[in-house]
Structure 1
């Protein structure tokens, strides 16, 4: 596995070594000792899987009292995946990074606790899977508005074609969000 810190160095892009032939392929998607060395000493307690159609934007979500780190990947289709630094004392506070994750490139992205996270589906359908470092806590979930002008994420889709949940469409402006110290 190749571990590449992104423009926000705590967010890491993981590219697995894929071994393939006429029968298909094999790849290692997670190895705890290597993950600790490159991303930090985290344990995962919950795995999630979602399926979404083209133009669906999910996020930007985070939990404040029970922050979740997420190791995300796509097993079908393609998404543009985004992490926003919500840590007030960080040199990259309020900045974002985004990467394409797909069944073709097989990359994973580590989004540590303290970040808002979301993605938009750029293929007809996408299967999105992720490991979490803490349990989902419905009363602790916040949504940063996907098109907040302060953060200014450049989504690679026509915003008029986006489909959002009511919760995501009514997300908070960056200035109104609870931050991490």
Structure 2
């Protein structure tokens, strides 16, 4: 296990060893003792979520307020561009976003599993680049539907640079109605 700090305060890329042979591969994607020891994060995961998305699907940016959720993201199949936006007003990286290409171990050049740890107080979204993708994530707080918040993906105040150029020209951007009708940054509750 290797843990890398990145630009957004508290966000980490965690690389897990993936063992490949003629049958395929095996990876221990999560081990609580190892995670606590190496990542220095004591998260208590309450729920696992799995999403399937077609190419061109953009999900997010989502978060929950006031019961914030830490998340641990991994791509089981395919290739996505994942975005984290810091909504913590006391954070040194407040209002900054960062994007990451995440892919399953068969597509990853180093053939390892990369997980993205997102702390409480950050919004999250992703764009499916591959033909389809399966994303698995753990959350450290239960889901409260009435607290769900959505930042519109193209808010000019945040100016996220979604890599739409990575999609084939004939693939439309696919958004849910909730994501299409998201709020602007100035309308959102902040931590």
Using the size of structure 2 for normalisation, the TM-score is 0.89
Matches of 2:179 and 2:24, distance apart in 1: 38
Moved more, 33-42 or 97-106: 33-42
Unaligned runs of 5+ in 2: none
Q: How many angstroms does 1:16 deviate by?
A: 1.2
Contact 1:73–1:130, Cα closer than 8 Å, also in 2: yes
Match of 1:155 in 2: 162
Q: How many Å apart are 1:152 and its aligned residue?
A: 1.2
Change (3 A) 1:172 1:39: farther
| 1:46 shift after superposition | 0.3
Aligned twin of 1:60: 61
2:177 is matched with which residue: 166, 169, 176? 166
Size of the aligned set, in residue pairs, is 180
Deviates more, 1:130-139 or 1:157-166: 157-166
- Provide the rounded CA distance (Å) in 2 between the counterparts of 1:40 and 1:177: 27
User: Aligned ranges for residues 136-155 of structure 1 at < 5 Å?
Assistant: 136-155=143-162
Mapped to 2, the partners of 1:12 and 1:110 lie a distance apart of 5
Where 1:161 maps in the other structure, the secondary structure is: coil
Q: Structure 1: where are the runs of 5+ without partners?
A: none
Query: What are the equivalent positions in structure 2 for 1:45-124 lying under 5 Å apart?
Result: 45-103=46-104, 104-105=107-108, 106-124=113-131
1:11 maps to 11
Pairwise CA distance, 1:89:
1.0
Q: What are the Cα deviations for residues 92-151 of structure 1, in whole angstroms up to 9, with x where unaligned?
A: 010011111111223110011100000010011000110000111100000011111121
